Amino acid sequence: MNLPFHIAKRYLFSKKKQNVINVISMISVIGVAIGTMALVIVLSVFNGFDGLIRDLFGSFDPDLKILPKTGKTFVPDSTFEQIRKMENVVFYSEVLEENALLKYGNKQRPAIIKGVDEEFTLMTGIDTMMVEGNFLLNSGKHQFAVLGYGVALDLGVGLTFTDYIKFYVPKRNAKLGLNPMDAFSTEYLYPSGYFTIQQDFDSQYVLVPLDFARKLFDYTNEVSGIELSIKNQDEVENVKEQIQALLGDGFVVKNRFELHDVLFKMMQSEKMAIFFILAFILVIASFNVIGSLTMLILDKKHDIATLRSMGAEEKTIQKIFLLEGWLISLLGAAIGVGLGLAICFLQIKFGLITLSGNGAFIMDSYPVDIHFTDIFIIFTTVVSIGYAASRYPVRYITKRFLQFN
């Protein structure tokens, strides 16, 4: 039988001579449990928002995007046909993005015009993100524009098909004359609907047919990028490396997260900052463990003397109280993890805590996504903090007050 562990367990649950020691021990367990619970809940909510944003970006961004290393456009050659026929490539979409000035009625504003082909709709889930109208770019002889909700709101666009949107872009080889409007290309499209994905997209993008974009920007076969959907998500990085090797240094192949690396790095930094802030709070809560152990050591002077007379070494006695502090942290961590997981599951099932905004958000309650890797890291961190907090009173206070020789 492990004697130090057995004694430490009895000290944790048995009634002490001074009832205040039991109270402080209970406060220590509660403090550790609350800190652990907060870590589980907050990190799971961060994971929920992270997953939500990734899903939303997946409705607009491809798995992989091929961009020219220099310049804005390029003409796909036979190498791109090889990419189109790769086994892991499900959808291959040519896109053309440029800035233009939009005018609707008396309102005008700049926007990013993105010309897309038929495979773009199949590759993304943008047709499911429509808030009004339909995702319609081509209908027989007529072509249409699909606007981000922010763009449509700024222009006051309606879907009555009585007013069209005017697109203005500077001609690439234009010379200034008597009429400044001669330096601009002008095209017209009726709006067919609005989409909402994320503010960066909603407030900037207007989707149009690819051939319309080429006509507007005075291109023939040029594209600004090639967007790819990959069959197996686990193979995205391998496919990316294959395509990069095939294309050489003239092109850059980016995955979905590299297209928005600043945003995702910022989210990871925020998650780490929150983790360390809450871990620091746990360190402060662990001072209760120090107080509890200090009083326990003083309370058990006679027990220590008995153990010493029975031949127990100093390290053995120190191990008893070290295990006592570790058990307090372990119990608090277990309770905290259990409560945190229970609250997270209730939030996932019932959406108990809602987002205020009267339907302005795409979901009604806080998203939660439990990563068991995070749970393991939290549990290990809490127990490690508790172990470190227990060493001071055990190693120093015992020697100072009990005067071991």
Closest CA to 53 of 42, 61, 65: 61
What's residue 336's pLDDT? 96
Where residue 360 falls among pLDDT bands split at 50, 70, 90? Answer: low
What would the two tokens of residue 153 be? 């709101």
Decide if 135 contacts 146 (C-beta within 8 A). Answer: yes
What pLDDT is recorded for position 187?
A: 95
Pairing relation of β-strands 251-255 and 225-230? unpaired
Backbone angles phi, psi at 60, to 5 degrees: -130, -40
Q: 130-168 pLDDT, tens per residue?
A: 999 999 999 878 999 999 999 999 999 988 878 999 999
Torsional class of 226: left (φ above 0), alpha (ψ -120 to 50), beta (otherwise): beta
pLDDT-derived band at 372 (thresholds 50, 70, 90) equals very high
How far does CA 235 lie from the centroid of its chain?
21
Residue 399 to residue 404: CA distance in whole angstroms:
5
If pLDDT is split at 50, 70 and 90, which confidence band does 404 have? very low
Taking the C-alpha atoms of residue 83 and residue 217, their distance in angstroms, rounded to an integer, is: 26
Range 300-325 average pLDDT = 77
Tell me the three state secondary structure of residue 100: strand
| Residue 306: partners with Cβ closer than 8 Å, 6 or more residues away | none
Longest Cα–Cα distance in the chain:
109
Higher pLDDT, 343 or 177: 343
Per-residue model confidence (pLDDT) at position 382: 92
Q: What is the mean pLDDT of residues 218-242?
A: 95
Position 12 confidence tier, pLDDT thresholds 50, 70, 90: low
Minimal CA–CA distance to 226: which of 66, 28, 372? 66
How crowded is residue 308: how many other Cβ atoms within 10 Å of its Cβ? Answer: 16
* pLDDT tens digits, 239-292: 999 999 999 999 999 999 999 888 888 988 999 999 999 999 888 888 888 777
Let me know: does 24 contact 291? Beta carbons within 8 Å.
Answer: yes
Task: List Cβ neighbours of 55 (8 Å cut-off, separation of 6 or more).
Answer: none
Whose structure tokens read 């009634």? 15
pTM of the model: 0.80
Q: What is the pLDDT of residue 1?
A: 45
Q: Who has greater pLDDT, 139 or 13? A: 139
Give domain limits for the chain: 3-57+262-403, 71-249
CA distance 378 to 384: 10
pLDDT beyond 70 at 39: yes
Please report which confidence band the pLDDT of residue 231 belongs to, taking 50, 70 and 90 as the band edges.
very high
- E-strand stretches of 105-164: 107-116, 130-133, 138-139, 142-148
Q: What pLDDT was estimated at residue 405?
A: 44
pLDDT, tens only, 69-97: 999 999 999 999 999 999 999 999 999 99
User: Would you state the structure tokens that stand for residue 377, as one six-digit string?
Assistant: 């890291």
CA contacts within 13 A on the Cβ side of 19:
0
Position 3 scores a pLDDT of 63
For 116-137, write each residue's pLDDT tens digit.
999 998 888 888 889 999 999 9
